[in-house]
Amino acid sequence: MIDRPLELLSQNTDADLDPRDWDALRSLGHRMLDDMVDHLRDLRQNPVWQPIPPTIRERLRQPLTVEGEDPGALYQRFRDDILPYGTGNTHPRFMGWVHGGGTPLGMLAEMLAAGLNANLGGRDHAPIEVERQVIRWAADAFGLPKTAGGLLVTGSSMANFIAVLMARGAALGAAARRDGLGGARLTAYASAGVHRCVPDALDMAGIGSDALRLIPVDATFAMDTRALATAIAEDRAAGAVPFLVVGTAGSVDVGAFDDLTAIADLAERERLWFHVDGAFGALVALSPTLSPKVAGMDRARSIAFDFHKWAQVPYDAGCILVRDEADQIATFAAPSAYLTPGARGLSANAPWPCDLGPDLSRGFRALKVWFTLQAFGTERLAAVAERSCSLAGHLAARVEAEPELELLAPVPLNIVCFRYRAPPAQADALNTAIVADIQEAGLAAPSTTLIGGAVAIRAAFVNHRSRAEDADALVAGVLAAGRALVQNPLP
């Protein structure tokens, strides 16, 4: 509880938004900090997730005040109405989709970045150097050459989109920025397990999502590179212009890796832009035991990946890397009298990030990445990925040992797809219900996916807080929910 109302705001007609009473603001800030540190320390004692009660949802739909409210009271509403009803991805038993867990240090870095309120679109200031340093570290970690560049973006969806635009420019030349596709029938290639943001990127780039050929996968869920070669040849024969191949490093469904070396060879022969979507999987490059999975990634012309997944940087922090920064500049730089870098003063320091991507105003995402990478070092971040994979192995073994459960896909990385056995007509509905029951009980948060058309319970280990006991709790929860549903069948 906040003990006293805080006279933090000047009375309404005053246009100065700083606090009248700085000490009151300071104590509110300390209070927030203490509460959030306690919250993160005690995560395990809370439900992973709970539904938002209707009264609270209603409060979150109220119109905006005209007069302003007391910040202490607002903070109390944050504690009552928002804090308990998050996604749960900070919690050790969150295993849904692919979500990072964040760190307390990352939270503090976010506060510092907000205090600086830096705009990283351009100009000469240290925050831009911090972002460049982070990009350099990533390019080095993935084996890209000194010509490499990149940008922090919201996530891999945006990073993949930027890669498609760069590949389009490389295929059609700079004039395409002005003239559009000019009737060229560009075609792109990716495995059938590619993330949906890749067809979306082709759509947004004006190329159309149908231009993406989905290449079948083999038994390991990796792209069949012979089928890829055939598809490229067929498209060329039909008068299309193959321009891009996307290799997936860590597919969202099962965590599969395409053979990036074979794709690099083919892309070189066929003169295609070779892009890697390594949203979470690219980070295995940090681990000596896991890095063979991304052999060949260092030959990519661009790589999309996220710091907000396995690297545990708080949302959002995605990254596009490009082998040659010149490709980025050719795709995005635009002359403008108002925004031209100069030789000295605040407008020096070209190239500005606004000439490397679609955003002009950009926040200081780089600071939380910079703190996280340096505080933990590459070894501990690699250890997070390694433990995620060993937890998946542990869960897979538990599933195989339970007669009521079955694995639905191989477990090459950190993701386990399995289900509660049931007659075919009921299996999908039953497993969908099991996942919802477990989530609503606050016990764990797996998600679902389709494997070969069948509903699978999907557990992806990404959170650095997850332990074997959490995987065990999921197994116990699935068995209990499955048995209860079998006894009291769905209507």
Ligand X SMILES: *Cc1c(COP(=O)(O)O)cnc(C)c1O
CB of 318 to ligand X, least distance (A): 5
C-alpha span between 318 and 159 (Å, rounded): 7
Q: Which is nearer to ligand X, 164 or 279 (CB)?
A: 279
Spell out the alpha helix ranges (H) of 215-259. Answer: 225-237
β-bridge mates for residue 458, sequence order: 417, 447
Quick one: which of 452, 411, 144, 399 has its CA closest to 251? Answer: 411
The count of residues in the chain is: 491
One-character DSSP codes across 145-187:
-TT-EEEEES-HHHHHHHHHHHHHHHHH-TTHHHHTTTT--EE
We find the least distance from the C-beta atom of residue 189 to ligand X, in angstroms, to be: 16
Minimum CB–partner distance for residue 196 and ligand X (Å): 8
- Label each residue of 374-405 as H, E or C: HHHHHHHHHHHHHHHHHHHHHHHHHHHHCCCE
* Nearest residue to ligand X on Cβ basis: 155
Residue 288 Cβ vs ligand X, minimum distance, rounded to whole Å: 23
Strand order in the sheet with 454-460: 405-407, 415-420, 454-460, 447-451
Minimum separation from the CB atom of position 317 to ligand X (A): 9
> What CA–CA distances, in Å, run from 468 to 6, 464, 471, 481?
45, 12, 5, 20
- Using the minimum distance from each CB to ligand X, give the nearer residue, 279 or 434: 279
- Amino acid found at 178: R
User: Residue 266 CA to chain centroid, in angstroms?
Assistant: 28
Give the nearer residue to ligand X in terms of CB position, either 123 or 293.
Answer: 293
Q: Which is nearer to ligand X, 6 or 158 (CB)?
A: 158
Binding mask 432-461 for ligand X (x = CB under 6 A): ------------------------------
What phi, psi does 241 have (nearest 5°)?
-120, 90
Binding span for ligand X by CB under 6 A among 20-28, 114-122, 164-172, 276-284: 276-284
Residues between 349 and 408 that touch ligand X (CB under 6 A): none
CB of 352 to ligand X, least distance (A): 24
| Cβ atoms of residues 445 and 48 within 8 Å | yes
One-letter amino acid for residue 320 of the chain: I
- When asked if residue 95 is in the footprint of ligand X (CB under 6 A), the reply is no
Interface with ligand X (CB under 6 A), residue total: 13
Of the candidates 364, 360, 332, 372, the residue with the CA atom closest to the CA atom of residue 138: 372
- 3-state DSSP assignment of residue 458: strand
Segment 149-178, which members bind ligand X (CB under 6 A)? Answer: 155-157
306 binds ligand X (CB under 6 A): yes
Q: Does residue 280 touch ligand X according to CB under 6 A? A: yes
Q: Which one, 195 or 398, has the nearer CB to ligand X? A: 195
Of 176 and 456, nearer to ligand X (C-beta) is 456
Q: Tell me the pairing of strands 149-153 and 318-322.
A: antiparallel
Q: Which of residues 317-336 bind ligand X (CB under 6 A)?
A: 318
Q: Return the range that interacts with ligand X (CB under 6 A); candidates 273-281, 322-330, 352-360, 407-415.
A: 273-281
Interface with ligand X (CB under 6 A), residue from 139, 197, 222, 284 = 197
Task: Between 172 and 217, name the residue whose CB sits nearer to ligand X.
Answer: 217
Compute the least distance from the CB of residue 423 to ligand X, in Å. Answer: 33
Which residues in the 230-269 window bind ligand X by CB under 6 A? 250, 252
* DSSP label of 217: B
Count of CB atoms situated within 10 Å of the CB of 387: 16
Output 157 or 287, the one with its CB closest to ligand X.
157
**Shortest Cβ 260–ligand X spacing (Å):** 14
CB of 123 or CB of 275, closer to ligand X: 275
Token pair recorded at residue 261: 């070396």
Among 279, 385, 405, 474, binds ligand X (CB under 6 A): 279
Q: Which is nearer to ligand X, 176 or 197 (CB)?
A: 197
Q: How far is the CB of 25 from ligand X (least distance, A)?
A: 34
What does the DSSP 8-state code read for residue 299? G
Cβ distance to ligand X smaller for residue 154 or 261: 154
Nearer Cβ to ligand X (155/477): 155
Determine if 195 is a binding residue for ligand X (CB under 6 A): yes
Min CB(154)–ligand X separation in Å:
7
Q: What share of the chain is helix, strand, coil (3-state, %, to 5)?
A: 45, 15, 40
Segment near ligand X (CB under 6 A); pick from 54-62, 64-72, 138-146, 274-282: 274-282
To 10 degrees, what angle do helices 365-401 and 468-487 make? 60
What order of strands is seen across the sheet that includes strand 241-248?
Answer: 149-153, 318-322, 302-306, 273-277, 241-248, 186-191, 212-215
In the complex, minimum distance from the CB of residue 397 to ligand X, in angstroms, rounded to a whole number: 24
The answer to whether 282 contacts ligand X (rule: CB under 6 A) is no
Cβ nearer to ligand X, comparing 103 with 349: 103
Q: Cβ of residue 278: shortest distance to ligand X, in angstroms?
A: 7
> Which residue in 386, 215, 197 sits closest to 305, CA to CA?
197
Q: Which of 229, 219, 170, 172 is nearest to 193 (CA)?
A: 219
User: According to CB under 6 A, which one of 131, 224, 253, 277 is a site residue for ligand X?
Assistant: 277
Q: Residues in the site for ligand X, rule: CB under 6 A?
A: 98, 155-157, 195, 197, 250, 252, 277, 279-280, 306, 318
